[in-house]
Chains A and B, each alone.
Chain A
């Protein structure tokens, strides 16, 4: 299994719809996980952290399944501004990020009007 694996997409979704995508990881020692967002040719920015079973922030919900080693991101009532690449991120070491992060290649999301 690759360190971090994501479906690259693109996911073409109509505005207002709900979309979800998964990410699998290989480092079973990881304690925390993150979703970053990257707009075209811009720097990545932290979207959500996932430390236990899941986290919810407005329209965004991140869930963690340790047994199967995957995390998911759910976006409800999608907006045009949600169009971006979503990066699944896992600590490189066994801690919470002590030696940097491993980034997935990202899932490209396109919200269509």
Chain B
């Protein structure tokens, strides 16, 4: 039973380009969460999704950021027109249900914006 899979593990983009981060949850998990961790900072909640639905995107910037979790395929976090401040580790987590505090995290995608 593979864990949460994220790719790419490392991504380098120039300012103004687009970044796409992918996350495949653990088998049997239908709840996906995206968190961002800036250097020397804590994890910040961005968005919570279930299949084909965005449940809570209150932590995601209104502009340039979007997330989806289609019926088929991985969840995708998309950052358009990246800026240097977007450089961070983006962690995806999944859970088997809604009322659980146990999130299983992927190894993260580290975005560097030049």
Contacts and interface: CB of A to CB of B under 8 A. Distances in A.
Given A44-B91, A45-B105, A101 B45 contact: yes
Contacts, number: 63
Given A100-B33, A103-B35, A105-B41, A43 B99 contact: no
B102 A49 contact: yes
B45 to A, nearest CB: 5
**Number of chain B interface residues as a range:** 20 to 34
Interface string A59-100: 000000000000000000000000000010101100111111
B108 A97 contact: no
Interface of A, secondary structure class, is loop
A34 interface: yes
Nearest to A93: B56
A91 to B, nearest CB: 6
Contacts of B35: 103
A95 B42 CA distance: 22
Contacts of A43: 91, 105-108
Nearest to A33: B101
A91 B101 CA distance: 7
Contacts of A22: none
A99 B48 contact: yes
B107 A46 contact: no
A105 B41 CA distance: 6
Contacts of B43: 44, 87, 103
Contacts of B24: none
A96 B42 contact: no
19 contacts: A34-B101, A34-B102, A43-B91, A45-B105, A46-B101, A46-B103, A49-B102, A91-B101, A95-B98, A96-B99, A96-B101, A97-B103, A99-B55, A99-B56, A99-B98, A103-B35, A103-B43, A103-B45, A105-B42
Interface of A: 32-34, 41-46, 49, 87, 89, 91-92, 95-106
